[in-house]
Amino acid sequence: AQSVTQPDIHITVSEGASLELRCNYSYGATPYLFWYVQSPGQGLQLLLKYFSGDTLVQGIKGFEAEFKRSQSSFNLRKPSVHWSDAAEYFCAVGSNTGKLIFGQGTTLQVKP
């Protein structure tokens, strides 16, 4: 069965520090992979997606993610975090049915 695991429920980083949010998936075929961000009280916004091709994908707001098939991972990174990046981040895997399976989410707190 398809599943997504985000091992870190909560992460705190200092403003200006680098960030890596982990995501591991379980899926039989080549997955479609997504990262979404949710600010408090808001809907989810798509940060980036991977369907095929280059395994390093660039997204909005300076985020990138790398697909590693051997590790079944799709970790999200940002070289320098801003206070406005504080939010909840969701990794998701999609199939050709159109449904997405979401991870439990990682809450990012940014220290001044």
Partner 1 sequence: DVKVTQSSRYLVKRTGEKVFLECVQDMDHENMFWYRQDPGLGLRLIYFSYDVKMKEKGDIPEGYSVSREKKERFSLILESASTNQTSMYLCASSPAGLEQYFGPGTRLTVT
- Closest by CA position to 47, among listed 89, 106, 5, 102: 89
Query: Does 36 interact with partner 1 (rule: CB under 8 A)?
Result: yes
Contact with partner 1 (CB under 8 A) among 41, 52, 54, 70: 41
Burial status of residue 77 (CB atoms within 10 A of its CB: 0-12, 13-18, 19 or more): middle
CB of 10 to partner 1, least distance (A): 12
Contact with partner 1 (CB under 8 A) among 15, 32, 73, 75: 32
Query: Does 77 interact with partner 1 (rule: CB under 8 A)?
Result: no
